[in-house]
């Protein structure tokens, strides 16, 4: 499509150059060729300007929001991390093997995929689990012991019940954890 529009702009410029060349040595240009000459000169310029504005987002992506304060930047980053976590969860739901290959939820292992800070409570060591909001190392060890006892978890509620965690931790676990089998 871009090639076709480039050809159209080129034909307008060629038409303009041809008319200018044909009437170069005359003082007046007839009305018909004069209109074609002006259209051939201004058409590609205006058309390309409008066209570039139309396709800008497809070429460069959506514009980044302008930040006026550190707080707005922090909010935007937190929302971005939340989106990454949701995308990682959706990917894991569609393709669990790919999630394992990408090491989703395993910040203790080398990886390239950014999952937004998820922790896989079915595989992560206690030291990583202790880094979750509201968790301590003794609570993380309780989670690992419960995991070893029951064989794995399916939800934050399941973890809270099996590991006898305080109820106020469940929303935090739901936000930052994933449960890969």
How far apart are alpha carbons 36 and 114 in whole angstroms?
55
**Is residue 74 over pLDDT 90?**
no
Q: Give percent of the chain above pLDDT 70.
A: 97
- Tell me what pLDDT residue 18 has: 83
| pLDDT tens, position by position, 82-115 | 999 999 999 999 999 999 999 999 999 999 999 9
More confident residue, 149 or 8: 149
Q: What is the DSSP letter of 1?
A: -
> Does residue 67 surpass a pLDDT of 80?
no
**pLDDT classification of 40: cutoffs 50, 70, 90:** confident
Check if the beta carbon of residue 18 is closer than 8 Å to that of residue 39. Answer: no
Contact 179, 170 (CB under 8 A): no
């Amino acid at each position: 499509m871009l090639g076709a529009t480039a050809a159209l702009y080129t034909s307008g410029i060629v038409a303009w150059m041809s008319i200018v060349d044909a009437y170069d040595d005359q003082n007046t240009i007839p009305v018909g060729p004069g209109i074609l000459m002006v259209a051939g000169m201004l058409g590609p310029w205006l058309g390309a300007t409008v066209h570039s504005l139309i396709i800008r987002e497809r070429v460069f992506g959506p514009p980044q929001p302008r930040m006026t304060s550190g707080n707005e930047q922090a909010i935007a980053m937190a929302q971005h991390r939340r989106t990454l976590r949701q995308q990682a969860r959706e990917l894991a739901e569609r393709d669990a093997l790919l999630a394992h290959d990408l090491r989703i939820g395993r910040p203790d292992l080398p990886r390239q995929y950014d999952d937004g800070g998820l922790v896989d409570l079915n595989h992560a060591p206690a030291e990583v689990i202790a880094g979750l909001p509201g968790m301590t190392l003794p609570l993380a060890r309780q989670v690992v012991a419960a995991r070893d006892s029951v064989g794995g978890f399916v939800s934050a509620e399941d973890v809270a019940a099996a590991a006898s965690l305080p109820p106020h931790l469940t929303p935090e676990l739901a936000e930052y954890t994933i449960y890969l089998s």
